[in-house]
Amino acid sequence: PRFPVVVIGAGPAGLALGNVLRAASIDCLVLETESRAFIEGRPRAGVIEEWAVRGLEERGLAENLLARAERHTACEFRLGGRRHRLPYQELTGRHHYVYPQPLLVTDLVREYADVRGGAIRFEVRDVRLHGLDTAGPAVSYTDEDGERHLVRADFVAGCDGARGVTRTVLPDWARISRHDYGVGWLALLAEAPPSADCVLFGVHPRGFAGHMPRSPDVTRYYLQCPPGDDPENWPQDRVWAELQERLAVDDRPPLTEGRLIEKRVLDLHNHVVEPMSFGRLFLAGDAAHLTAPIAAKGMNLALHDAFLLADALIAYLADGDTAGLDGYSDACLRRVWDYQEFSQWLSDVYHGASSGDPYRAGTTRARLRRLFDSPRAAGAFAEQYLGDSSPV
């Protein structure tokens, strides 16, 4: 068999790409190692930027999201027992959407496979890429019955996330820049209603704590911990005691507690692959750039890449226009580096107070004071937190 585009990975990047290609009547095959039920239930992101939602809407992919997503208009820093609310919508006229990643993935799979008739194989194994530096690349894989297949393609889209295969076949000259924050986060999902109407950032000498509403019954929390820490060191009681302490303020009741349904340790690190293409292979999303969830940017970048790559592939396959493909990597990396820089800035704000270094703690306090006291500084923060609003 032959497909103009083979997409490796059915996350937000691969599925958004497949949907746009199908809408332009371009055949593609999506290959995914996990089962459909697994990817539809995998909890991760929640915060989507307004331009990304508009981008999904313009491509007919945001119907459920617009009906069900919450709109967030502010965030709140908590430190020294006091609350500092940052009303980013007032400052910029823009807001965030909160729509859990499993719901978005469910919508995108259904639209791609069941509505637009796109081909997709779940539970594939041993995906290998061939002839990427030729005009006729191919992908081979083993299906769920153990049968091996070879699929020829014009292009391969590497959308297989931070632990996929496509990044590993890049040539030596590809540059991978890495940044390790030296910090761990215990990522938690609690069966508990949110304790505030917005995201809370607790900046505390014991470490950062975050509160991210996901739905009326589920809240994501983060607790800074040593990198490589064992989640078993964090029984339910210890988790809630730390969250209560790090997010405590004088004029609000304690957090509403609940059963923890996810508990994993993330060692915060980022990496960026440059360029994001090699021959007939184009990387998109976490496969090209991992962004620790510090500033809630990863899924947004994945969608940005997918929109640009889809437009570029359509221009080439329909009209022979190579400009989009030629400029793809640079166009994506502009936003990637912008978001990387903001994540690094925000990491300093979150982790300075607990770094054990009084100098870093002091500069962090100064940064936060500036944010709270200067509407201009707050506006600049809001612009970056909400993301580059250029349409895609």
Q: Which residues bind ligand RFL (CB under 6 A)?
A: 8-14, 31-34, 39, 44-47, 101, 127, 159-161, 164-165, 187, 266, 285-286, 293, 296-300, 302
Q: How far is the CB of 185 from ligand RFL (least distance, A)?
A: 8
Contact 261, 190 (CB under 8 A): yes
Q: Which residues contact 277 (CB under 8 A, 6 or more apart)?
A: 283, 325, 328, 329
Q: Decide whether 225 or 249 has the Cβ nearer to ligand RFL.
A: 225
Contact 225, 185 (CB under 8 A): yes
Q: How far is the CB of 297 from ligand RFL (least distance, A)?
A: 5
Q: Decide whether 12 or 118 has the Cβ nearer to ligand RFL.
A: 12
Q: Find, among 105, 144, 154, 143, the residue nearest to 7 by Cα.
A: 154
Q: How far is the CB of 254 from ligand RFL (least distance, A)?
A: 24
Q: How far is the CB of 38 from ligand RFL (least distance, A)?
A: 8
Q: How far is the CB of 29 from ligand RFL (least distance, A)?
A: 11
Contact 242, 254 (CB under 8 A): no
Q: Decide whether 168 or 374 has the Cβ nearer to ligand RFL.
A: 168
Q: Decide whether 222 or 249 has the Cβ nearer to ligand RFL.
A: 222
Q: Decide whether 21 or 45 has the Cβ nearer to ligand RFL.
A: 45
Q: How far is the CB of 292 from ligand RFL (least distance, A)?
A: 7
Q: Find, among 295, 364, 367, the residue nearest to 336 by Cα.
A: 295
Pairing mode of beta strands 2-8, 148-158? parallel
Q: Decide whether 151 or 249 has the Cβ nearer to ligand RFL.
A: 151
Token pair listed for 298: 């990863």
Contact 27, 3 (CB under 8 A): yes
CA distance linking residue 304 with residue 284, whole number of Å: 9
What type of residue is 238?
Answer: R
Q: Which residues contact 237 (CB under 8 A, 6 or more apart)?
A: none
